[in-house]
Amino acid sequence: MTDFTMTKDADGVATITWDVKSKSMNVMSTEAFAALSGLVDEALADASVKGIIITSGKKDFAGGMDLNVIAKMRAGGAQAIFDGVMQMHHVLRKIERAGMDPKTLKGAKPIVAALPGTALGIGLELPLACHRIIAADNPKAKIGLPEIMVGIFPGAGGTTRLSRKLGAMMAAPFLLEGKLSDPKSAKGAGLIDEVVAAEDLLKRAKEWVLSATEADLVKPWDAKGYKLPGGAPYSAPGFPTFVGASAMVHGKTMGVYPAARALLAAVYEGALVPFDTALRIEARHFTSVLMNPSSSAMIRSLFINKEALEKGANRPKVADQAVKKLGVIGAGMMGAGIAYVSANAGIEVVLIDSTQEAADRGKAHSSDLLDKGMKRGKVTAEKKAEVLGRITATTDYAALAGVDLVVEAVFEDPKVKADVTHKVEAATGADCIYATNTSTLPITGLAAASKRPDEFIGIHFFSPVDKMKLVEIIRGKKTGDVAVAKALDFVRQIRKTPIVVNDARFFYANRCIIPYINEGIRMVAEGVEPALVENAAKLVGMPLGPLQLVDETSIDLGVKIAKATKAAMGDDYPDEAVDHVLFWMADQGRLGKKANAGFYAYSDKGERLGLWEELEHKYPQDKMQPSLADVQHRLLFAQVLEAVRALEEGVLTDIREGDVGAILGWGFAPWSGGPFSWLDIIGAGRAVEICRGLSAQFGPRFHAPALLREMAEKGETFYGRFGGEKAAA
Ligand code: NAD
C-alpha cells in the first residue's frame, strides 16, 4: 500500500491524497517521496488534468519527516545525504514549476495544498512548494517548522522558501525558534494563504485550481526583479536584521547548537544568490548538520527515545492502569501543581491538606494558572470551570473513597509521611496504588509504613510541575509491576515523559544535579571567579550555571540536603569544602532567589542583577584562573560520572532514560543528547584520560568508574554496548 494515491475528477482536477495507513499521523519516508514524485509526473503529463490538489486522508496533513529515516541517512555518509536532499529539492522544485516554461513563465498547472489540520516540517515544506496553501479552520491544528527543536533545521527547501516568502526578520521565529501557529495565526503571519471552514476545504481548493491565473503560478522568487522582503543582507535595511539575528542566535545558543548557526548561514548565503543555488547551499549546510554527532544525538534522545519512553518502552506487561480518580495529599507547591496537571488532563482529583485553608489555597493555584491561560487566549471560561470542577479541596480522608492512585506531597519528614500512609490506606481500597513525591527519602524506607509495599512507589515530579516535562518513577525494593504500570499510565495521561529508576539515595536526577551544584560552589571556595564558573556552564550548553541553579532551588534546601547526606554517610562525606560556602551563605541570610539574596544580587522586584560582589571578599579570587575547558570538564564530569555510576549500580537500567531524563529533568546540555550520548561523542578513552587528569588534581570524586575504564579498553560506546535494538538509532 503506497502512502500517496491519486484520483481524477470529471472537471480535470487530480487529487493526490497522503495517507500513511500504518500510522495515525502522516510522516514522510524516502519511498513515499518517490511515490509522490511519480504521481506529480503522471498528473503533469496528463493533458486532461488541469490542476492538482495535494491533501491528506487523515484529520491532519503531516507530522513531518520520519526522523528514523533521517537518523539512518547519516549512515550513508555526507555525499549520500547531500544527493538525497538534492533529489528532494528536485521534486519540490518540479511541483513549484509544475511544467512552466522557465523563459516565458507560462504553462504551469496550478497545484494547491489543502491542509485539514496540523502541518509540520516537511508537512509544511511540501505546501510551501505549491502555488497556494489553504488550511481548514481548525484551531487545534499546528502549522510550522519545528526541526530546530531536535537539532536540525528545515532542509527540504523550507529555510530558503520561507525566508524568501516572508523576509529574514519575519521568518526568524518560525525557523530559529520553531514557532508553531494555528491556521488563523499562520495566515496572519503569511505562512499560508487562506483559511476556510473545514467542510469547504476541498471545494475551495478545487475552485482555486480551476480559477487560477498564470500570474498566480509564478513564485515571487521566480519572477523578474524579485527582492527579499525586508532587504537583502548587504542592503541598508537588511544588514541590521542579519547582524541582530546572528547576535540573538549566539546569545541564545552560546554557539553550541550547530543547527542554529548553519540555518542562519543558509539564509544569509542563500539570500545572496539565485533561488536554485540557494537550495544547494541549504542542502550543503543541512548535510553538515546531519553529519554533526550533536544532531543525531539530539534526534535520538529528544525525539526517538523520548517518544519510545512516552509510549511505555519499559512498561511491565499488565492491563491498562489509566487513573480515573486521584488523591493528592499535601496541597503545597508540589501537590497543588500535581492536582492542576491531573485535573487538566481530565482526571477527578481529591486534594487534601491538614487545614481547609491550605487545601483551598492549593486549588487556587489551578485557578491562577487557568486565568493566565485565559489571558493568553488559550483557555476558555468553560474549560476553566470544567477543570476546577474536577478538583475537590478538603481535609476529609473519607473523600478518598474510590480513588485508584494517591500521590503524597506532604513535608519531607519520614514521620509525617508514615502517618499519611496509614491514614490513606485506611481510607482507600486494596487496589489503590500509593505514590510518594519525596525528592530525597529512599522509597524502600518509606514503604515500611505501608501494609501493601508492592503497591507503594515513588513518583517524583519536578518544580514547577506544570512546566517540567520529566517525571521520575522510582521502584522500591518491594514495588510490584502493577504499581509501575499505574505510574507510567498516569504520566502518559498527564502528557509528561517518564523514566523508571531503582531506589537509591537521590534516585537519578538529583543524584547528578547535586554534584554539579557542589562543583560550582567548591570552585568558589578555591578562588575561581564565580563569573568564570557560571559562564563556563552556559558556554557548554547548561541552561543555568550552578550558582544560579542553587539560588533558584534555595540555599537552605542545599543546607538541609547537605546535613542529611552527612548524617547518612558519616566519615565518607566528601563535601566539607562545599558546606563551608553554603552554610556561610545561609548564615548571611542569603537563601537564594526567594530571599532576593544569594550568590546573585537581586532587585527589590526579584530581578537578577549580577553576582554578589561580597563573595569575592570572603573567598578571594586567585590571580591565576583555570582555563575555560578545565572548568567545563569539572562541571560536566561531576554530572556524567554520577550518571555512569547510577548505571553501574543498576539505579538506571536503560541509558535512553539516563539521557532523556538528564535533558528534561535538569537541562543537561541538550545539544549533546545527554550524558551517555556525550560520553559516546568524546569516546570512553578520552573520557578516562580527562578523569585521570581531574582526579590527580582535584581528588577521587573524578576517578573513572570501572565500567568506563573497561569500555575505554575495549573501545566500546554506551549505545553500542547498552543500546541494543531498542536504543539504537
Ligand atoms: P510545601 O511545604 O510547599 O507543601 C507541603 C504541604 O503539605 C503543605 O501545604 C502542608 O500543609 C501539607 N501537609 C503537611 N503535613 C500534612 C499532613 N499530615 N496531611 C496533609 N497535608 C499535610 O512542600 P513542597 O515543596 O510541595 O514539597 C512536598 C513534597 O514534594 C516533599 O516531599 C518534597 O521533598 C517533594 N518535592 C519537592 C520539590 C520542590 O522543588 N519543592 C520537588 C520535588 C519533590
Give me the mean pLDDT over the 150-155 stretch: 93
Catalytically annotated residues: 460
Any atom of ligand 1 within 6 Å of the Cβ of 436: no
Read off the pLDDT of each residue in 473-489 and give the average, rounded to a whole number: 98
205 within 8 A of 145, measured Cβ to Cβ: no
Q: How confident is the model at residue 569 (pLDDT cuts 50, 70, 90)?
A: confident
Q: What is the mean pLDDT of residues 513-524?
A: 97
pTM: 0.89
Q: Determine if ligand 1 sits within 6 Å of the CB of residue 333.
A: yes
Which atom of ligand 1 has the smallest separation from the CA of 332?
4
pLDDT tens digit sequence for 628-683: 999 999 999 999 999 999 999 999 999 999 999 999 999 999 999 999 999 999 99
Cell of 542: 547548561
Fold of 4-291: 2-enoyl-CoA Hydratase; Chain A, domain 1 (3.90.226)
Give the mean pLDDT of 521-546.
Answer: 97
Give the residue among 455, 491, 495, 450 at the shortest CA–CA distance from 475.
455
- Parse the chain into domains and list their residue ranges: 4-291, 325-503, 505-729
Half-sphere exposure of 180 (CA within 13 A, CB side): 17
List the grid coordinates of 209: 485550481
Q: What is the residue with the minimal CA distance to atom 40 of ligand 1?
A: 463
Q: What is the mean pLDDT of residues 491-496?
A: 98
Closest CA to 515 of 640, 699, 664: 640
User: Average pLDDT for residues 319-323, to the nearest whole number?
Assistant: 98
Residue range 114-143, pLDDT digits in tens = 999 999 999 999 999 999 999 999 999 999
Q: Residue 122 and residue 154: Cα distance in Å, rounded?
A: 8
Domain 325-503 grouped into CATH 3.40.50.720:
yes
* Residue range 691-715: mean pLDDT, rounded: 97
Rounded Cα distance, 51 and 209, in Å:
6
Provide mean pLDDT across the span 312-332: 97
CB neighbour list of residue 668: distance below 8 Å, 6 or more residues apart: 512, 542, 639, 662, 674, 675
Ligand 1 pocket mutation, candidates 333, 425, 507, 557, criterion most atoms within 8 A of CB: 333
With a cut of 80, say whether residue 697 has pLDDT above it.
Answer: yes
What residue type is 347 in one-letter code?
Answer: I
d(CA 231, CA 238): 4
CA-wise closest residue to 50 among 202, 212, 203:
212
Q: What is the mean pLDDT of the chain?
A: 95
Residue 475 DSSP symbol: E
For residue 451, pLDDT over 80 is answered with yes
Q: What is the pLDDT of residue 192?
A: 98
**Mean pLDDT for the stretch of residues 547-573:** 91
Q: What is the pLDDT of residue 154?
A: 97
pLDDT in the model for residue 68 = 77
Look-up of cell digits 500510522: 23
| Atom 1 (ligand 1) nearest CA | 332
pLDDT of 597 above 90: yes
Class of domain 505-729: mainly alpha
Please compute, for residue 363, the number of CA atoms within 13 A of its CA located in the half-sphere on the CB side.
22
Contact 362/337 with Cβ under 8 angstroms?
no
349 CA to middle of ligand 1, Å? 17
pLDDT at 53 over 80: yes
Counting from 1 in the atom list of ligand 1, the atom nearest the Cα of 438 is 32
Q: Collapse the DSSP code of 411 into the 3-class scheme (helix H, G, I; strand E, B; otherwise coil) and give the result.
A: coil
Closest CA to 547 of 614, 610, 638: 610
Rounded to whole angstroms, how far apart are CA atoms 351 and 335?
8
Kindly state the cell numbers that stand for 640.
Answer: 556524567
| Mutational pocket test of ligand 1: of 410, 420, 439, 552, the residue with most ligand atoms within 8 Å of the beta carbon | 410
- What pLDDT, on a 0 to 100 scale, did the predictor assign at position 727? 46
Decide whether any atom of ligand 1 lies within 6 Å of the 557 Cβ: no
User: What is residue 728's predicted lDDT score, i.e. its pLDDT?
Assistant: 41
Ligand 1 pocket member 353 (CB < 6 A)? yes
CA 82: distance to chain centroid? 27
Amino acid 252: pLDDT: 83
Q: Check whether 233 has a pLDDT greater than 80.
A: yes
Report helix, strand or coil for 642: helix
**Closest to 505 measured CA to CA, from 398, 633, 406, 646:** 646
What pLDDT is recorded for position 724?
62
In the structure, how many helices (H) and strands (E) does the chain have?
32, 21
Helix/strand/coil for 500 = strand
Task: Report the Cα 338 to chain-centroid distance in Å.
Answer: 20
